[in-house]
Amino acid sequence: MLKIENHWFTPSDEVEHIACPKNTQLFDRGQPDTIVIHYTAGKNGISSAHYLAKDNVKASAHLVLDRSGKIIQLVPFNTISWHAGKSSYAERSGFNNFSIGIEIDNAGILEKTGDMYKSWFGKKYTADEVVKATHRNESTERYWHTYTEEQIDTVQLICEKLMDTYPTIKYILGHEEIAPGRKQDPGPAFPLNKLRTILLDSRQESGSDKFANAIGFVDVDGLNIREMPSVNSDTVAEPLPEGTKVRIQAKHNNWYKVTAEIEGWVAADYIAFNE
Ligand SMILES: [Zn+2]
């Protein structure tokens, strides 16, 4: 059972923390709105996690997932990590500023040698760990390391938990989509489209309901609470003090209808989640 407390998954048999003190910059208000999926192209999950946590490495990620589905968290979810690099999609660039990065332990592209398949770092894999497929950015088939069922299931659980905790999240993208040509991960062995169908389409059908019942906190020193979602509308009470816990009832443009001691509308920019 995954639980988020103060922007970290609670440690358990399935969750480990590794400190990554180089990442200290918090996301702007309203971010993150995207989850970016990667593969590590490394030897194993724990070695990739330790590498990404190093002070002298100019890369990192929020999460690394090993082959068993175990989660290693490096960076809290309210903090920017360095997983996207030079990236752009739908007229935005620099996706580190908008996204949570999940690195999945997977060797990536493999070369066939005899009966075996070899990774760039020289490890050999048998045919049952290999899929021949065409990448979405390419036109010919190549060999790709498969993901384990545990990894695919756990990625879905992680995304569900993140989207429940951070209602700002509304996109799931592959690194290959925000850095096409430069990056191939997570590649065709990962069921990215299916994940989006399961997680995003069902939520979009319920529209603004995805905000309903989320718990937020006032993130400004005194937040006006109004009768209607407009700055011209009368306030219904004294401004809500910073830290006031509110339950989101509905969203309209850039306003949330919230219940605190009193019900009314507040500017969405000044509500934080999971603090
Ligand atoms: Zn990547």
Measure 40 CA to ligand 1 centroid, in angstroms. Answer: 7
> What is the model's pLDDT at position 209?
57
- Tokens 């290693």 label which residue? 72
The set of residues, in sequence order, having a beta carbon less than 8 Å from that of 14 and lying 6+ positions away, is: 2, 69, 70, 71, 154
Residues lining ion ligand 1 (Cβ < 5 A) are 38, 175, 185
Cα(117) to centroid(ligand 1), Å: 21
Could you identify the residue written with the tokens 């923390």?
A: 17
CA of 166 to the centre of ligand 1 (A): 22
User: What pLDDT is recorded for position 211?
Assistant: 64
Identify the CA nearest to 32 among candidates 94, 103, 104.
94
Q: What is the pLDDT, as a whole number, of residue 202?
A: 64
pLDDT for 274: 65
**Contact call for residues 221 and 242 (beta carbons, < 8 A):** yes
Nearest to 161 by CA among 100, 111, 209, 207: 100
Q: What is the pLDDT of residue 212?
A: 66
Strand partners, 88: 93
Taken as a whole, the chain contains a residue count of 275
Model pLDDT, residue 210: 58
8-state DSSP, 96: G
Identify the pLDDT of residue 204: 57
Q: How far is the CA of 179 from the centre of ligand 1 (A)?
A: 9
pLDDT at 262: 65
Residue 154: phi and psi, rounded to 5, are: -70, -35
Please tell me if the domain spanning 4-111+116-205 has the same topology as the one spanning 209-273. no
From the CA of 37, how far away is ligand 1's center (Å)?
7
Residue 215: per-residue pLDDT:
80
In 3D, which of 218, 197, 201 has the Cα closest to residue 210?
201
Fold exhibited by the domain 4-111+116-205: Lysozyme-like (3.40.80)
Nearest-angstrom CA–CA distance, 106 and 68: 11
- What pLDDT score was predicted for residue 37? 98
- CA–centroid distance, 91 to ligand 1, in Å, is 20
- The CA 241 to ligand 1 mean position distance, Å, reads 41
Distance 185 CA to ligand 1 centre (A): 5
Task: Return d(Cα 28, Cα 25) in angstroms, integer.
Answer: 9
Q: How far is the CA of 99 from the centre of ligand 1 (A)?
A: 12
Domain boundaries, the chain: 4-111+116-205, 209-273
CATH code for the part of the protein at 209-273: 2.30.30.40
pLDDT < 50 regions, the chain: none
